[in-house]
Structure 1
Amino acid sequence: MTGRFVGRSAVVTGSAGGIGLAIAERLASEGAHIVVTDVNGAGLETVAANLKDKGAAAVTTFVTDLSTEEGAKALLAHTLAAHGKVDILVNNAGGGVILPFLEHTPDTLRKTIDRNLWTTLWCCRVFLPAMIERKFGRIVNISADSVHTGTYSHAGYNAAKGGVNGLTTGLAFEFGKQGITVNAVSPGGVMTPDLRKLIDGDAATAAKVKLNVDPRVVMETIPTRRFAEMHEVAALAAFLASDDAAAINGQVYSINGGQWML
Protein backbone atom coordinates (compact mmCIF):
# COMPACT_ATOMS: atom_id res chain seq x y z
CA MET A 1 0.00 0.00 0.00
CA THR A 2 1.16 3.54 -0.77
CA GLY A 3 0.10 6.77 0.87
CA ARG A 4 1.09 9.53 3.26
CA PHE A 5 0.52 7.41 6.36
CA VAL A 6 2.21 4.13 5.51
CA GLY A 7 3.97 2.94 8.67
CA ARG A 8 2.09 5.43 10.85
CA SER A 9 -0.21 4.48 13.72
CA ALA A 10 -3.39 6.53 14.14
CA VAL A 11 -6.08 6.60 16.82
CA VAL A 12 -9.46 8.07 15.91
CA THR A 13 -11.86 8.53 18.81
CA GLY A 14 -15.62 8.50 18.39
CA SER A 15 -15.21 6.55 15.17
CA ALA A 16 -18.18 4.17 15.20
CA GLY A 17 -19.94 6.50 12.77
CA GLY A 18 -20.24 10.02 11.39
CA ILE A 19 -17.19 12.28 11.04
CA GLY A 20 -14.97 9.96 13.08
CA LEU A 21 -15.68 7.08 10.72
CA ALA A 22 -14.95 9.28 7.69
CA ILE A 23 -11.60 10.30 9.20
CA ALA A 24 -10.69 6.69 10.02
CA GLU A 25 -11.54 5.68 6.46
CA ARG A 26 -9.41 8.46 5.00
CA LEU A 27 -6.35 7.70 7.14
CA ALA A 28 -6.67 3.97 6.49
CA SER A 29 -6.99 4.57 2.74
CA GLU A 30 -3.59 6.27 2.85
CA GLY A 31 -1.88 3.44 4.68
CA ALA A 32 -2.25 4.17 8.39
CA HIS A 33 -2.59 1.44 10.99
CA ILE A 34 -5.84 2.41 12.68
CA VAL A 35 -7.32 2.10 16.15
CA VAL A 36 -11.03 2.91 16.08
CA THR A 37 -12.54 3.57 19.48
CA ASP A 38 -15.98 4.50 20.76
CA VAL A 39 -18.48 3.62 23.48
CA ASN A 40 -20.51 1.88 20.76
CA GLY A 41 -18.92 -1.54 20.56
CA ALA A 42 -21.30 -3.02 17.99
CA GLY A 43 -20.74 -0.07 15.69
CA LEU A 44 -16.97 -0.42 15.98
CA GLU A 45 -17.03 -4.04 14.86
CA THR A 46 -18.93 -3.05 11.73
CA VAL A 47 -16.48 -0.22 11.07
CA ALA A 48 -13.45 -2.49 11.48
CA ALA A 49 -14.90 -5.11 9.13
CA ASN A 50 -15.61 -2.47 6.48
CA LEU A 51 -12.13 -0.98 6.75
CA LYS A 52 -10.54 -4.41 6.39
CA ASP A 53 -12.74 -5.14 3.38
CA LYS A 54 -11.43 -1.93 1.79
CA GLY A 55 -7.83 -3.08 2.25
CA ALA A 56 -6.79 -1.25 5.43
CA ALA A 57 -3.28 -2.22 6.49
CA ALA A 58 -4.23 -2.95 10.10
CA VAL A 59 -7.32 -2.14 12.16
CA THR A 60 -8.08 -2.77 15.81
CA THR A 61 -11.06 -1.72 17.91
CA PHE A 62 -11.32 -0.60 21.51
CA VAL A 63 -14.46 0.16 23.49
CA THR A 64 -13.99 2.66 26.29
CA ASP A 65 -15.28 5.84 27.92
CA LEU A 66 -12.66 8.48 27.18
CA SER A 67 -14.14 11.06 29.53
CA THR A 68 -12.14 9.36 32.30
CA GLU A 69 -8.40 9.14 32.78
CA GLU A 70 -8.70 5.37 33.17
CA GLY A 71 -10.44 5.05 29.80
CA ALA A 72 -7.77 7.07 28.02
CA LYS A 73 -4.96 5.10 29.70
CA ALA A 74 -6.57 1.83 28.63
CA LEU A 75 -6.79 3.11 25.04
CA LEU A 76 -3.10 4.02 25.03
CA ALA A 77 -2.15 0.61 26.39
CA HIS A 78 -4.22 -1.08 23.68
CA THR A 79 -2.67 1.07 20.96
CA LEU A 80 0.90 0.37 22.06
CA ALA A 81 0.19 -3.35 22.36
CA ALA A 82 -1.40 -3.46 18.91
CA HIS A 83 0.88 -1.13 16.94
CA GLY A 84 3.89 -0.38 19.13
CA LYS A 85 3.54 3.40 18.92
CA VAL A 86 1.13 6.23 18.32
CA ASP A 87 1.88 8.85 15.66
CA ILE A 88 -1.53 10.44 15.14
CA LEU A 89 -4.33 11.15 17.59
CA VAL A 90 -7.62 12.48 16.26
CA ASN A 91 -9.87 13.60 19.11
CA ASN A 92 -13.28 13.35 17.51
CA ALA A 93 -15.31 11.83 20.37
CA GLY A 94 -18.14 14.16 21.29
CA GLY A 95 -21.88 14.47 21.02
CA GLY A 96 -23.28 17.19 23.19
CA VAL A 97 -26.77 17.32 24.56
CA ILE A 98 -28.18 20.11 22.39
CA LEU A 99 -30.77 22.05 24.40
CA PRO A 100 -31.73 25.66 25.06
CA PHE A 101 -29.43 26.67 27.90
CA LEU A 102 -32.09 27.01 30.60
CA GLU A 103 -33.50 23.59 29.72
CA HIS A 104 -30.20 21.96 30.61
CA THR A 105 -29.89 20.10 33.89
CA PRO A 106 -26.68 19.53 35.86
CA ASP A 107 -26.61 16.05 34.32
CA THR A 108 -26.98 17.18 30.69
CA LEU A 109 -24.38 19.91 31.13
CA ARG A 110 -21.98 17.43 32.71
CA LYS A 111 -22.51 14.97 29.85
CA THR A 112 -21.85 17.69 27.29
CA ILE A 113 -18.59 18.76 28.92
CA ASP A 114 -17.52 15.15 29.54
CA ARG A 115 -18.13 14.04 25.97
CA ASN A 116 -16.60 17.03 24.20
CA LEU A 117 -13.90 18.48 26.45
CA TRP A 118 -12.81 15.82 28.95
CA THR A 119 -12.45 13.16 26.22
CA THR A 120 -10.04 15.44 24.37
CA LEU A 121 -8.22 16.61 27.48
CA TRP A 122 -7.63 13.13 28.88
CA CYS A 123 -6.51 11.66 25.56
CA CYS A 124 -4.03 14.49 25.02
CA ARG A 125 -2.66 14.20 28.54
CA VAL A 126 -2.30 10.42 28.34
CA PHE A 127 -0.93 10.16 24.78
CA LEU A 128 1.52 13.06 24.85
CA PRO A 129 4.28 11.30 26.85
CA ALA A 130 4.48 8.52 24.24
CA MET A 131 4.80 11.15 21.50
CA ILE A 132 7.40 13.13 23.46
CA GLU A 133 9.49 9.97 23.86
CA ARG A 134 9.65 9.56 20.08
CA LYS A 135 9.87 13.32 19.40
CA PHE A 136 6.99 13.08 16.96
CA GLY A 137 3.24 13.44 17.07
CA ARG A 138 0.24 14.84 15.27
CA ILE A 139 -2.81 15.73 17.34
CA VAL A 140 -5.94 16.85 15.52
CA ASN A 141 -8.86 17.97 17.67
CA ILE A 142 -12.37 18.30 16.28
CA SER A 143 -13.96 21.56 17.36
CA ALA A 144 -17.08 23.36 16.09
CA ASP A 145 -17.72 26.65 14.33
CA SER A 146 -20.74 27.25 16.54
CA VAL A 147 -18.17 28.54 19.06
CA HIS A 148 -17.91 31.59 16.75
CA THR A 149 -21.41 31.80 15.33
CA GLY A 150 -23.45 31.03 18.45
CA THR A 151 -26.24 28.87 16.98
CA TYR A 152 -29.50 28.02 18.70
CA SER A 153 -29.35 25.68 21.70
CA HIS A 154 -25.56 25.35 21.56
CA ALA A 155 -24.36 27.39 24.56
CA GLY A 156 -23.44 24.37 26.70
CA TYR A 157 -21.87 22.58 23.73
CA ASN A 158 -19.94 25.72 22.78
CA ALA A 159 -18.53 25.96 26.30
CA ALA A 160 -16.96 22.53 25.76
CA LYS A 161 -15.72 23.15 22.22
CA GLY A 162 -14.35 26.55 23.19
CA GLY A 163 -12.31 24.67 25.77
CA VAL A 164 -11.04 22.38 23.01
CA ASN A 165 -9.83 25.43 21.07
CA GLY A 166 -8.02 26.78 24.12
CA LEU A 167 -6.45 23.39 24.81
CA THR A 168 -5.31 23.19 21.17
CA THR A 169 -3.38 26.46 21.20
CA GLY A 170 -1.93 25.89 24.67
CA LEU A 171 -0.62 22.42 23.85
CA ALA A 172 0.73 23.57 20.49
CA PHE A 173 2.80 26.25 22.18
CA GLU A 174 4.04 23.93 24.90
CA PHE A 175 4.95 20.86 22.86
CA GLY A 176 5.83 22.17 19.39
CA LYS A 177 9.54 22.17 20.26
CA GLN A 178 9.30 18.42 20.86
CA GLY A 179 8.21 17.55 17.35
CA ILE A 180 4.49 17.51 18.12
CA THR A 181 1.88 19.64 16.36
CA VAL A 182 -1.61 20.26 17.70
CA ASN A 183 -4.32 21.70 15.50
CA ALA A 184 -8.10 21.71 15.32
CA VAL A 185 -10.67 21.22 12.59
CA SER A 186 -13.73 23.37 13.21
CA PRO A 187 -16.71 22.34 11.07
CA GLY A 188 -19.82 24.38 10.57
CA GLY A 189 -22.80 22.36 9.41
CA VAL A 190 -21.82 18.88 8.22
CA MET A 191 -24.05 16.62 6.19
CA THR A 192 -24.21 13.76 8.66
CA PRO A 193 -26.90 11.09 8.37
CA ASP A 194 -28.94 12.84 11.09
CA LEU A 195 -28.71 16.21 9.35
CA ARG A 196 -29.87 14.62 6.10
CA LYS A 197 -32.86 13.21 7.96
CA LEU A 198 -33.66 16.66 9.36
CA ILE A 199 -33.52 18.21 5.90
CA ASP A 200 -35.77 15.44 4.61
CA GLY A 201 -38.29 16.26 7.37
CA ASP A 202 -37.86 13.20 9.62
CA ALA A 203 -39.97 13.96 12.71
CA ALA A 204 -38.23 11.47 15.03
CA THR A 205 -34.81 12.98 14.32
CA ALA A 206 -36.16 16.50 14.78
CA ALA A 207 -37.57 15.57 18.19
CA LYS A 208 -34.25 14.05 19.23
CA VAL A 209 -31.94 16.83 18.04
CA LYS A 210 -34.06 19.89 18.95
CA LEU A 211 -32.17 22.40 16.81
CA ASN A 212 -35.02 24.94 16.91
CA VAL A 213 -33.98 26.12 13.45
CA ASP A 214 -34.61 24.72 9.99
CA PRO A 215 -31.28 23.60 8.48
CA ARG A 216 -32.60 24.48 5.03
CA VAL A 217 -32.86 28.09 6.17
CA VAL A 218 -29.31 27.93 7.53
CA MET A 219 -28.02 26.65 4.18
CA GLU A 220 -29.39 29.76 2.51
CA THR A 221 -27.05 31.89 4.65
CA ILE A 222 -23.95 29.96 3.52
CA PRO A 223 -22.19 31.44 0.46
CA THR A 224 -21.72 27.95 -1.05
CA ARG A 225 -25.38 27.13 -0.27
CA ARG A 226 -24.51 23.75 1.21
CA PHE A 227 -23.09 22.05 4.27
CA ALA A 228 -19.69 20.37 4.23
CA GLU A 229 -19.60 16.67 3.45
CA MET A 230 -18.04 14.30 5.98
CA HIS A 231 -15.30 13.29 3.55
CA GLU A 232 -14.31 16.95 3.20
CA VAL A 233 -13.86 17.28 6.96
CA ALA A 234 -11.84 14.05 6.89
CA ALA A 235 -9.61 15.42 4.12
CA LEU A 236 -8.73 18.47 6.23
CA ALA A 237 -8.01 16.32 9.29
CA ALA A 238 -5.80 14.04 7.21
CA PHE A 239 -3.86 17.01 5.83
CA LEU A 240 -3.17 18.33 9.33
CA ALA A 241 -1.99 14.85 10.38
CA SER A 242 0.38 14.59 7.42
CA ASP A 243 3.99 15.64 6.88
CA ASP A 244 2.69 18.26 4.43
CA ALA A 245 1.40 20.18 7.46
CA ALA A 246 4.56 19.90 9.58
CA ALA A 247 4.87 23.69 9.88
CA ILE A 248 1.23 24.18 10.90
CA ASN A 249 0.75 24.30 14.65
CA GLY A 250 -1.79 25.79 17.04
CA GLN A 251 -4.35 26.61 14.38
CA VAL A 252 -8.13 26.20 14.37
CA TYR A 253 -9.33 25.66 10.80
CA SER A 254 -12.94 26.35 9.90
CA ILE A 255 -14.62 24.29 7.22
CA ASN A 256 -17.97 25.93 6.66
CA GLY A 257 -18.51 27.10 3.09
CA GLY A 258 -17.93 30.68 4.19
CA GLN A 259 -20.71 30.78 6.78
CA TRP A 260 -18.28 32.46 9.17
CA MET A 261 -15.14 34.22 7.95
CA LEU A 262 -12.09 35.74 9.60
Structure 2
Amino acid sequence: MEWLTDQKIPTGRWAKIFVDWLTNSGGWFFDGLSAFLSAVIDGLLFILGWPHPLVIIALVTALSWYFRRSIGLAIFTCLGLLLIVNQGYWEETTETLALVLAATAVSMAVGLPLGIAAARRPWFNEFLRPILDLMQTIPTFVYLIPALILFGLGMVPGLIATVIFAIPAPIRLTRLGIISTPPSLTEAAVAFGATPAQVLRKVELPYATPQIMAGLTQTIMLSLSMVVIAALVGADGLGKPVVRALNTVNIAQGFEAGLCIVILAIVLDRLFRTSDEGERT
Protein backbone atom coordinates (compact mmCIF):
# COMPACT_ATOMS: atom_id res chain seq x y z
CA MET A 1 0.00 0.00 0.00
CA GLU A 2 2.98 2.33 0.42
CA TRP A 3 3.34 2.78 -3.32
CA LEU A 4 -0.25 4.02 -3.42
CA THR A 5 0.23 6.61 -0.69
CA ASP A 6 3.60 7.67 -2.12
CA GLN A 7 1.89 8.64 -5.37
CA LYS A 8 -0.66 10.94 -3.74
CA ILE A 9 -2.90 12.86 -6.14
CA PRO A 10 -2.61 16.54 -5.14
CA THR A 11 -6.34 17.25 -4.99
CA GLY A 12 -5.95 19.66 -2.09
CA ARG A 13 -3.27 21.65 -3.92
CA TRP A 14 -5.44 21.77 -7.04
CA ALA A 15 -8.33 23.12 -4.96
CA LYS A 16 -6.05 25.80 -3.49
CA ILE A 17 -4.83 26.78 -6.95
CA PHE A 18 -8.43 27.07 -8.14
CA VAL A 19 -9.46 29.25 -5.17
CA ASP A 20 -6.37 31.43 -5.64
CA TRP A 21 -7.30 31.84 -9.31
CA LEU A 22 -10.85 32.85 -8.34
CA THR A 23 -9.51 35.36 -5.82
CA ASN A 24 -7.08 36.93 -8.27
CA SER A 25 -9.18 36.97 -11.42
CA GLY A 26 -12.70 37.29 -10.03
CA GLY A 27 -12.19 39.54 -7.03
CA TRP A 28 -14.29 42.29 -8.59
CA PHE A 29 -17.21 39.88 -9.02
CA PHE A 30 -17.10 38.53 -5.47
CA ASP A 31 -16.71 42.05 -4.05
CA GLY A 32 -19.78 43.18 -5.99
CA LEU A 33 -21.76 40.10 -4.97
CA SER A 34 -20.76 40.61 -1.36
CA ALA A 35 -21.85 44.25 -1.47
CA PHE A 36 -25.20 43.31 -3.04
CA LEU A 37 -25.94 40.53 -0.54
CA SER A 38 -24.88 42.76 2.35
CA ALA A 39 -27.28 45.45 1.12
CA VAL A 40 -30.12 42.90 0.94
CA ILE A 41 -29.44 41.67 4.48
CA ASP A 42 -29.10 45.23 5.81
CA GLY A 43 -32.42 46.13 4.20
CA LEU A 44 -34.14 43.16 5.81
CA LEU A 45 -32.56 44.02 9.16
CA PHE A 46 -33.84 47.59 8.87
CA ILE A 47 -37.36 46.42 8.02
CA LEU A 48 -37.41 43.95 10.90
CA GLY A 49 -35.59 46.13 13.43
CA TRP A 50 -37.15 49.54 12.85
CA PRO A 51 -40.69 48.88 14.18
CA HIS A 52 -41.28 48.15 17.85
CA PRO A 53 -41.11 44.40 18.61
CA LEU A 54 -44.77 44.38 19.60
CA VAL A 55 -45.70 45.72 16.16
CA ILE A 56 -43.81 42.88 14.46
CA ILE A 57 -45.37 40.35 16.83
CA ALA A 58 -48.86 41.67 16.11
CA LEU A 59 -48.21 41.59 12.36
CA VAL A 60 -46.85 38.03 12.38
CA THR A 61 -49.73 36.88 14.59
CA ALA A 62 -52.23 38.46 12.19
CA LEU A 63 -50.52 36.79 9.23
CA SER A 64 -50.60 33.40 10.96
CA TRP A 65 -54.34 33.79 11.52
CA TYR A 66 -54.94 35.02 7.97
CA PHE A 67 -53.03 32.18 6.29
CA ARG A 68 -53.96 29.30 8.61
CA ARG A 69 -57.31 30.34 10.14
CA SER A 70 -56.21 28.67 13.37
CA ILE A 71 -56.70 30.43 16.68
CA GLY A 72 -54.33 27.94 18.31
CA LEU A 73 -51.49 28.80 15.93
CA ALA A 74 -52.14 32.53 16.34
CA ILE A 75 -51.96 32.20 20.14
CA PHE A 76 -48.79 30.09 19.93
CA THR A 77 -47.19 32.60 17.56
CA CYS A 78 -48.00 35.54 19.82
CA LEU A 79 -46.89 33.83 23.05
CA GLY A 80 -43.79 32.32 21.44
CA LEU A 81 -42.55 35.64 20.06
CA LEU A 82 -43.34 37.37 23.36
CA LEU A 83 -41.24 34.72 25.12
CA ILE A 84 -38.34 35.52 22.79
CA VAL A 85 -38.63 39.21 23.77
CA ASN A 86 -38.84 38.21 27.44
CA GLN A 87 -35.65 36.17 27.17
CA GLY A 88 -33.80 39.13 25.67
CA TYR A 89 -33.08 37.59 22.25
CA TRP A 90 -35.29 39.69 20.01
CA GLU A 91 -32.43 41.44 18.19
CA GLU A 92 -30.64 38.14 17.57
CA THR A 93 -33.93 36.64 16.35
CA THR A 94 -34.43 39.41 13.79
CA GLU A 95 -30.84 38.93 12.58
CA THR A 96 -31.42 35.19 12.18
CA LEU A 97 -34.73 35.84 10.44
CA ALA A 98 -33.06 38.23 7.99
CA LEU A 99 -30.39 35.63 7.18
CA VAL A 100 -33.00 32.88 6.74
CA LEU A 101 -35.25 35.02 4.52
CA ALA A 102 -32.32 36.12 2.35
CA ALA A 103 -31.02 32.55 2.00
CA THR A 104 -34.51 31.26 1.22
CA ALA A 105 -35.09 33.94 -1.41
CA VAL A 106 -31.78 33.19 -3.15
CA SER A 107 -32.33 29.42 -2.95
CA MET A 108 -35.84 29.62 -4.41
CA ALA A 109 -34.84 32.15 -7.10
CA VAL A 110 -32.05 29.85 -8.30
CA GLY A 111 -33.58 26.49 -7.41
CA LEU A 112 -36.96 26.93 -9.12
CA PRO A 113 -35.64 27.44 -12.68
CA LEU A 114 -32.98 24.77 -12.18
CA GLY A 115 -35.65 22.33 -11.03
CA ILE A 116 -37.78 23.13 -14.08
CA ALA A 117 -34.78 22.66 -16.38
CA ALA A 118 -33.93 19.33 -14.71
CA ALA A 119 -37.52 18.15 -15.21
CA ARG A 120 -37.55 19.13 -18.88
CA ARG A 121 -34.07 17.81 -19.77
CA PRO A 122 -33.09 14.39 -18.35
CA TRP A 123 -29.44 14.87 -19.33
CA PHE A 124 -29.30 18.05 -17.23
CA ASN A 125 -30.82 16.20 -14.27
CA GLU A 126 -28.15 13.49 -14.58
CA PHE A 127 -25.48 16.20 -14.64
CA LEU A 128 -27.01 18.02 -11.67
CA ARG A 129 -27.66 15.03 -9.42
CA PRO A 130 -24.08 14.34 -8.23
CA ILE A 131 -23.52 18.06 -7.69
CA LEU A 132 -26.59 18.26 -5.45
CA ASP A 133 -25.48 15.14 -3.57
CA LEU A 134 -22.10 16.75 -3.01
CA MET A 135 -23.63 20.01 -1.77
CA GLN A 136 -25.67 18.18 0.88
CA THR A 137 -23.04 15.67 2.02
CA ILE A 138 -19.75 17.57 1.97
CA PRO A 139 -18.90 18.92 5.46
CA THR A 140 -19.89 22.55 5.78
CA PHE A 141 -16.50 23.65 7.05
CA VAL A 142 -14.87 22.50 3.80
CA TYR A 143 -16.57 25.18 1.70
CA LEU A 144 -16.58 27.72 4.54
CA ILE A 145 -12.82 28.11 4.06
CA PRO A 146 -13.00 29.39 0.44
CA ALA A 147 -16.14 31.36 1.35
CA LEU A 148 -14.15 33.18 4.02
CA ILE A 149 -11.33 33.87 1.56
CA LEU A 150 -13.68 35.17 -1.14
CA PHE A 151 -16.15 37.12 1.04
CA GLY A 152 -14.46 37.72 4.41
CA LEU A 153 -16.07 37.50 7.84
CA GLY A 154 -19.68 38.50 8.37
CA MET A 155 -23.18 37.66 7.23
CA VAL A 156 -22.32 37.07 3.56
CA PRO A 157 -20.20 33.90 3.94
CA GLY A 158 -22.85 32.58 6.32
CA LEU A 159 -25.47 33.30 3.67
CA ILE A 160 -23.43 31.59 0.94
CA ALA A 161 -22.87 28.51 3.11
CA THR A 162 -26.57 28.38 3.96
CA VAL A 163 -27.59 28.62 0.29
CA ILE A 164 -25.17 25.85 -0.72
CA PHE A 165 -26.63 23.58 1.95
CA ALA A 166 -30.31 24.42 1.36
CA ILE A 167 -30.63 24.86 -2.42
CA PRO A 168 -30.83 21.13 -3.33
CA ALA A 169 -34.26 20.93 -1.64
CA PRO A 170 -36.13 23.37 -3.95
CA ILE A 171 -34.35 22.00 -7.04
CA ARG A 172 -35.29 18.39 -6.32
CA LEU A 173 -38.83 19.06 -5.13
CA THR A 174 -39.59 21.39 -8.05
CA ARG A 175 -38.42 18.72 -10.47
CA LEU A 176 -40.46 16.09 -8.64
CA GLY A 177 -43.60 18.21 -8.88
CA ILE A 178 -43.12 18.91 -12.58
CA ILE A 179 -42.48 15.29 -13.59
CA SER A 180 -45.42 14.13 -11.45
CA THR A 181 -47.89 16.03 -13.63
CA PRO A 182 -50.20 13.45 -15.26
CA PRO A 183 -49.41 13.11 -18.97
CA SER A 184 -53.14 13.35 -19.75
CA LEU A 185 -53.18 16.96 -18.48
CA THR A 186 -50.23 18.06 -20.60
CA GLU A 187 -51.55 16.17 -23.63
CA ALA A 188 -54.92 17.88 -23.31
CA ALA A 189 -53.24 21.30 -23.06
CA VAL A 190 -51.13 20.59 -26.15
CA ALA A 191 -54.21 19.35 -28.02
CA PHE A 192 -55.91 22.69 -27.34
CA GLY A 193 -52.92 24.52 -28.84
CA ALA A 194 -50.94 25.45 -25.73
CA THR A 195 -47.27 26.30 -26.25
CA PRO A 196 -44.60 24.67 -24.03
CA ALA A 197 -44.41 27.88 -21.98
CA GLN A 198 -48.19 27.88 -21.50
CA VAL A 199 -48.15 24.21 -20.51
CA LEU A 200 -45.52 25.00 -17.91
CA ARG A 201 -47.26 28.10 -16.58
CA LYS A 202 -50.88 26.91 -16.63
CA VAL A 203 -50.61 23.13 -16.08
CA GLU A 204 -47.32 21.92 -14.66
CA LEU A 205 -46.52 24.69 -12.20
CA PRO A 206 -50.04 24.79 -10.68
CA TYR A 207 -49.97 21.01 -10.29
CA ALA A 208 -46.47 21.16 -8.77
CA THR A 209 -47.35 23.97 -6.33
CA PRO A 210 -47.65 21.68 -3.24
CA GLN A 211 -44.22 20.21 -3.96
CA ILE A 212 -42.75 23.66 -4.56
CA MET A 213 -44.18 24.87 -1.25
CA ALA A 214 -42.71 21.78 0.41
CA GLY A 215 -39.38 22.85 -1.07
CA LEU A 216 -39.90 26.31 0.40
CA THR A 217 -40.54 25.01 3.92
CA GLN A 218 -37.63 22.58 3.65
CA THR A 219 -35.38 25.44 2.57
CA ILE A 220 -36.45 27.49 5.58
CA MET A 221 -35.80 24.61 7.98
CA LEU A 222 -32.42 23.83 6.42
CA SER A 223 -31.47 27.51 6.60
CA LEU A 224 -32.37 27.63 10.28
CA SER A 225 -30.26 24.56 10.93
CA MET A 226 -27.25 26.51 9.64
CA VAL A 227 -27.47 29.47 12.05
CA VAL A 228 -24.84 28.06 14.40
CA ILE A 229 -22.46 27.26 11.52
CA ALA A 230 -22.99 30.77 10.14
CA ALA A 231 -22.10 32.24 13.54
CA LEU A 232 -18.68 30.59 13.33
CA VAL A 233 -17.83 32.79 10.33
CA GLY A 234 -19.05 36.02 11.90
CA ALA A 235 -22.76 36.00 11.05
CA ASP A 236 -24.95 37.64 13.67
CA GLY A 237 -28.05 36.02 15.07
CA LEU A 238 -29.09 33.29 17.47
CA GLY A 239 -26.09 31.19 16.52
CA LYS A 240 -23.72 33.49 18.41
CA PRO A 241 -25.18 32.90 21.91
CA VAL A 242 -25.23 29.15 21.14
CA VAL A 243 -21.53 29.25 20.24
CA ARG A 244 -20.77 31.31 23.37
CA ALA A 245 -22.72 28.86 25.51
CA LEU A 246 -20.79 25.97 23.96
CA ASN A 247 -17.44 27.64 24.61
CA THR A 248 -18.29 28.48 28.22
CA VAL A 249 -20.43 25.39 28.96
CA ASN A 250 -23.31 27.72 29.83
CA ILE A 251 -26.33 25.43 29.91
CA ALA A 252 -28.83 28.21 30.65
CA GLN A 253 -27.75 30.43 27.76
CA GLY A 254 -27.59 27.49 25.36
CA PHE A 255 -31.11 26.36 26.28
CA GLU A 256 -32.54 29.88 25.96
CA ALA A 257 -31.03 30.51 22.53
CA GLY A 258 -31.96 27.00 21.36
CA LEU A 259 -35.55 27.52 22.51
CA CYS A 260 -35.74 30.75 20.51
CA ILE A 261 -34.53 28.91 17.40
CA VAL A 262 -37.17 26.21 17.91
CA ILE A 263 -39.96 28.78 18.32
CA LEU A 264 -38.86 30.64 15.19
CA ALA A 265 -38.66 27.37 13.24
CA ILE A 266 -42.18 26.30 14.25
CA VAL A 267 -43.69 29.70 13.44
CA LEU A 268 -42.05 29.88 10.00
CA ASP A 269 -42.92 26.28 9.18
CA ARG A 270 -46.60 26.72 10.05
CA LEU A 271 -46.78 30.10 8.35
CA PHE A 272 -45.44 28.96 4.98
CA ARG A 273 -46.78 25.40 4.86
CA THR A 274 -49.82 24.92 2.66
CA SER A 275 -52.75 22.95 4.00
CA ASP A 276 -52.53 20.39 1.21
CA GLU A 277 -48.72 20.22 1.08
CA GLY A 278 -47.62 16.95 -0.34
CA GLU A 279 -51.19 15.89 -1.18
CA ARG A 280 -53.06 15.70 -4.47
CA THR A 281 -56.70 16.44 -4.88
Tell me the TM-score normalized by structure 1: 0.30
Per residue, is there more helix in 1 or in 2? 2
Per residue, is there more strand in 1 or in 2? 1
Report which of the two structures shows the higher radius of gyration computed on alpha carbons. Answer: 2
Q: Quick one: higher RCO (CA 8 Å, sep 6+), 1 or 2?
A: 2
